[in-house]
Amino acid sequence: MITPKTIANGILRSIGFLVLIGISLYFIYQIQAVIVYLIVSLILTLIGKPIMSFLKTRLRFPNTLATITTLIFFFLLIVGFISLFIPLILSQSESLSLLNTAEIEQNINQLIHQIVVFLDNHNVDSARFLKETNISSKIDFNFVPQLLNTILNTISSFGVGLASVFFITFFFLKDKTYFIENLKLLIPDSHEAPIINSLDKINHLLSRYFIGLLLQLGIVFILYLIVLSIFGISNAFIIAFLCAVLNIIPYIGPLIASIIAAVLTMISHLGNDFQTETLPITIYILIGFWIVQLIDNNLSQPIIFSKSVSSHPLEIFLVILIAGFLSGIVGMVIAVPLYTILKVIGKEFFPNNVVIQLLTKNI
């Protein structure tokens, strides 16, 4: 029998539960920097796992020495990246005026004017469309500066927490067995084997995925740089760097990268004749970028997305597409790692499900 006291207790429990959720979310928000450090440390741990394995099995390094050597490798890699790339990015970004929104707007307006004149000379109605719609007023000229500033701020923020990240990563690499043994004490015996197997498979698959992703971005960056250098584009390094970073976003990123490369190429040739110089070079750059994407889509991505995480390319495409509709760009970026984790968990805990058997037959 439901009494007023029962209803009151239910309401109080619900309120208490909501308050607990609110406090938990507020706590997570306050320690978001720590969570970021943990995530970065986990990614470094996954990338460092093959290095640790090589040092311990092939070179017979003790566990602690292998861990320290792996961290030294990461440290030298990061220091080399900062000392080599960041000053070059800063100097080229300043010469390209990427941080000057007003100058970007002026250059874009001048570029649009050249395009309108070109179309008018060829009796194309779209010239009138460009004038009537005033498209320049609808462009967010802060996009490129914000993107560059976000990248640089992320790198600088990471530098501030570098010691914390390395400290956490050290123990993740060194005491993996210790963490697993303590985890066994927390989970029920009936679920111990599936959980441990899931963690091992996730560790293995994501290690391959993140290493492959870094390799893919490096290949795309070099190819972009080659294309831009062939045609003598000034500030080729910063343009290639921005376009390679955008490649992290599946499918949409390369399209945005091509648009940015085309616009920046035309801006860098504003003083030249649009029809005989600017337009042909821009078309060549776009063709070069599309060739890079053909190479990436047919070589790099299949190796990373199909082989590293044991999923069919069409399956990955649909997962990324759905994630994009649900969570936007962030969802597209984390879709593949998250989907891989869910597949491994599904196979370990629901091995008899027909759908899961179909999706996980290669794991």
Summarize pLDDT for 6-61 with one digit per residue, the tens.
Answer: 777 778 888 888 889 999 888 888 888 788 788 888 888 888 888 888 888 888 88
Q: Is the pLDDT of residue 99 over 50?
A: no
What is the amino acid identity at position 61? F
Instruction: Answer whether 52's CB lies under 8 Å from 173's CB.
Output: yes
Predicted pLDDT at 224: 92
Instruction: Answer whether 305's CB lies under 8 Å from 315's CB.
Output: no
CA distances from 97 to 155, 222, 274 (A): 20, 23, 21
Q: Write the DSSP assignment of 168-219 as a string of letters.
A: HHHHHHHTHHHHHHHHHHHS-HHHHHHHHHHHHHHHHHHHHHHHHHHHHHHH
Predicted pLDDT at 337: 86
Q: Is the pLDDT of residue 83 over 50?
A: yes
Q: Is the pLDDT of residue 136 over 60?
A: no
% of residues, the chain, pLDDT over 70: 77
Exposed, middle or buried by CB within 10 Å (0-12, 13-18, 19+), for 317?
middle
296-342: per-residue pLDDT in tens?
A: 877 777 667 677 777 777 788 888 888 888 878 778 888 888 888 88
CA distances from 218 to 221, 225, 243, 300 (A): 5, 11, 11, 11
Region at 88 (left for phi over 0; alpha for psi -120 to 50; beta for the rest): alpha
For the chain, give the mean pLDDT.
78
Mean pLDDT of 119-127: 64
pTM greater than the 0.85 cutoff: no
What is the amino acid identity at position 222? I
Backbone angles phi, psi at 20, to 5 degrees: -65, -40
Q: Is the pLDDT of residue 103 over 80?
A: no
Q: Of the given ranges (48-57, 110-119, 187-196, 283-292), which has the lowest mean pLDDT?
A: 110-119
Instruction: Answer whether 335's CB lies under 8 Å from 252's CB.
Output: no
345-362: per-residue pLDDT in tens?
A: 888 888 787 878 787 777
Distance CA 113, CA 181 (A): 68
Instruction: Answer whether 221's CB lies under 8 Å from 240's CB.
Output: yes
Predicted pLDDT at 82: 67
Q: Where are the beta strands (DSSP E) in 108-150?
A: none
Buried b (16+ CB within 10 A) or exposed e, 103-119: ebeebbeebbebbbebb
